[in-house]
Amino acid sequence: MTVPIDQAPTALLDRVHTVLGAFEDAGALTLSQVVTRTGLPRSSTHRILDQLVRLRWIHRTGRDYTLGLRLLELGVSAVRQDRLHEAAVPVMARLHQATRAVVHLGILDGDDVMILHREAGPLRLAVPTRVGGRYPAVRTALGRVLLAGRDGRPAGDGPGLPVVAAARIRERGIARTVVDRTDGADGAACVAVPIGTAETATAALSLCLPARAGRLDPRMEAPLREAAGRIRRALDAPANPDAARRGAGR
């Protein structure tokens, strides 16, 4: 039997990916809203949503659809398995306690920087970034310090950094943005450093304060660099130190 092209594995996965992507930065959506956001046929969208509801990837209440608990479970499992996240979280908690600033861990994803973790405390509303949020890399301290390692060029078609600016960031190993606008908020003053060298880093760490507070105290740069160094050393250490010691003794 010939499989219809819209039911071939690759086509079906592409459509599922598109449907799930419609819920990014959105709360509850109706079927019509999902159709509008995806551009997929209404019948195909409804069928995919029904299948995702059965799998608990999507939750339905009346006419509204939201992301389901199964996605959250998978996301938590992925985070727990990630060495970067495991190494960074305790260091970030201590850095937040020492500086009282919002601490972000981020990576480049195309033209954007994606937040993997944050420690915000009382400033969680004043600096309304979120874990999993994506922001234009060129407009954020996290993104700029990572773009500098690529000579300022993003992975996609978005804007990059001027050559001189990228070189200056690589030389100093630090990037600043006076107003780091996110989600239409007033923004924040941020400073970021790479985790590793500017040329090779795939992740970065930042400190942010509400823009109304002005520039960050330059004295915050030292603990920020120290924290990034601790994370880098933790990543460079053997995944299982006990096993490594046993192997070295043989």
Sheet containing strand 175-177, edge to edge, reads 134-136, 112-119, 102-109, 203-210, 188-194, 175-177
- Among the ranges 29-33, 105-109, 157-161, 196-200, which has the highest mean pLDDT value? 29-33
% of the chain exceeding 90 in pLDDT: 43
212 and 180 Cβ atoms separated by less than 8 Å:
no
Q: Which domains does the chain have, with CATH numbers?
A: 5-72 (1.10.10.10), 82-236 (3.30.450.40)
pLDDT digits (tens, 9 = 90+) for 98-112: 999 999 999 988 888
User: pLDDT by residue (tens digit) across 167-178?
Assistant: 999 999 999 886
Judged by DSSP in three states, 140 sits in: coil
Task: For residues 28 and 30, give the distance between their C-alpha atoms in angstroms, rounded to a whole number.
Answer: 7
Q: pTM surpassing 0.85?
A: no
